[in-house]
Amino acid sequence: MSSTNLRPTDVLISEVGPRDGLQSVKAVMPTANKLLWIDALVAAGLREIEVGSFVPAKLLPQMADVAEVVRHALTHPGVTVMALVPNLRGAEAALRAGVHKLTLPVSASEAHSLANVRKTRVDMVKEVSAIVQLRDEIAPGVKVETGMSTAFGCTIQGEVSEDDVVWLAKECAGAGADEVGLSDTTGMANPAQVRRLFDKVRAAIGERTGAAHMHNTRGLGLANCLAAWDVGVRTFDASLGGLGGCPYAPGASGNVVTEDLVFMFEAMGLNTGVDLDRLIAAREPLKRGLPGEPIYGMTPEAGLPKGWVPHRVTV
Ligand code: ZN
């Protein structure tokens, strides 16, 4: 999301841990812990949080309490509360719960699409269209984003053609999506590819080009975010402690670590609005809610550099 009250040089970090992170771990975080964790993320200055997904509890017991989590997140003024919805039924539940923004997973790979949402890509675009229509009817202020999974490669299908990504981005924008983000669900992207693909998508759909959602599976998460920044991307998904993955992308693990991403941008002189000390402190409620679960991050381990002053340079 590119909010109008931000300076053009600012970066919006969209925290996806409570959704992408929690859906990929076996343990179920108790609701009370989720609320404390979200409070700590807000206290750190995060202004957009994907708090869960509206999916049947049978499929993802981690998300059974999503409506309650949304209700709580909505008590924080100024925070954009997002939820992932895979279909119209989920979208209706999320809209009725009062979210500010929906994110819909649309796979660039046909094989991943069938595994993840049990629909072809074309059928998923129809679903996007139906969701946009429902949004217009019952909650016209809500933004609809499509997050294009496997845009940079797929563990099932292998290579994903750039023409397919551009085609699907146009289809999603044509179906009414306000923003079309690109996701490296499987951690296969490289910086040259990120620049090329975001450039192509922007040439095709202009300002509807959305967030970069990068995974750190092969250690290139930050490099890929920087590449996306270079070609005009200003919204970045990240997950506290690098929690995350995709249950239908075998071997995919680890979103970009929010702490490291914030450190990179702030050290470059860009204002993320996030306080790093408080962000690192937000790992405590995460650890308490998921005892024994490994969490990652180089910046929290190394600590902040001596004399650290965030975003002191004006770019
Ligand atoms: Zn992800």
- Domain ranges for the chain: 12-302
By annotation, the residues acting in catalysis are: 246
Compute the average pLDDT of residues 183-187: 92
Place of tokens 């290139």: 220
Mean pLDDT lowest for which of 4-8, 27-31, 131-135, 262-266? 4-8
Task: Output the CA 47–ligand 1 centroid distance in Å.
Answer: 19
pLDDT the model gives residue 36: 98
Give the amino acid at 315. Answer: V
Calpha distance 129→88 (Å, rounded): 10
Calpha distance 244→255 (Å, rounded): 5
- Average pLDDT score, the chain: 92
The SS3 of residue 201 is: helix
DSSP, res 17: I
Task: Output the CA 213–ligand 1 centroid distance in Å.
Answer: 6
Q: Which of 78, 11, 85 is nearest to 237 (CA)?
A: 11
pLDDT the model gives residue 247: 52
pLDDT the model gives residue 308: 87
Give the amino acid at 290. Answer: L
Whole-number percent of the chain with pLDDT over 90: 83
| Single pTM value for the model | 0.93
Task: Output the CA 161–ligand 1 centroid distance in Å.
Answer: 20
Task: Output the CA 244–ligand 1 centroid distance in Å.
Answer: 6
Which structure tokens are listed for 19? 């959704």
Question: Under a CB-based contact definition with an 8 Å cutoff, are residues 238 and 258 in contact?
Answer: yes
Task: Output the CA 19–ligand 1 centroid distance in Å.
Answer: 9
User: Which of 10-14, 194-198, 253-257 has the highest mean predicted lDDT (pLDDT)?
Assistant: 194-198
Task: Output the CA 17–ligand 1 centroid distance in Å.
Answer: 9
pLDDT the model gives residue 288: 97
Calpha distance 253→251 (Å, rounded): 6
Which structure tokens are listed for 204? 């095709």
With 0-12 / 13-18 / 19 or more C-beta atoms within 10 angstroms meaning exposed / middle / buried, residue 33 is middle
Task: Output the CA 268–ligand 1 centroid distance in Å.
Answer: 25
With 0-12 / 13-18 / 19 or more C-beta atoms within 10 angstroms meaning exposed / middle / buried, residue 221 is buried
Question: Under a CB-based contact definition with an 8 Å cutoff, are residues 164 and 193 in contact?
Answer: no
Q: For the domain made up of 12-302, give the CATH fold.
A: TIM Barrel (3.20.20)
The SS3 of residue 257 is: strand
Q: Count other Cβ atoms within 10 Å, centred on residue 237.
A: 31
Task: Output the CA 313–ligand 1 centroid distance in Å.
Answer: 31
Compute the half-sphere exposure of residue 236: CA atoms within 13 Å on the CB side of its CA.
34
Calpha distance 80→50 (Å, rounded): 8
pLDDT the model gives residue 4: 43
Q: Buried b vs exposed e over 96-109: b needs ≥16 C-beta within 10 Å? A: ebebbbbbbbbbbb
- DSSP code string of 217-284: TTS-HHHHHHHHHHTT--EEEEBGGG--B-TTSTT-B-BPBHHHHHHHHHHTT---S--HHHHHHTHH
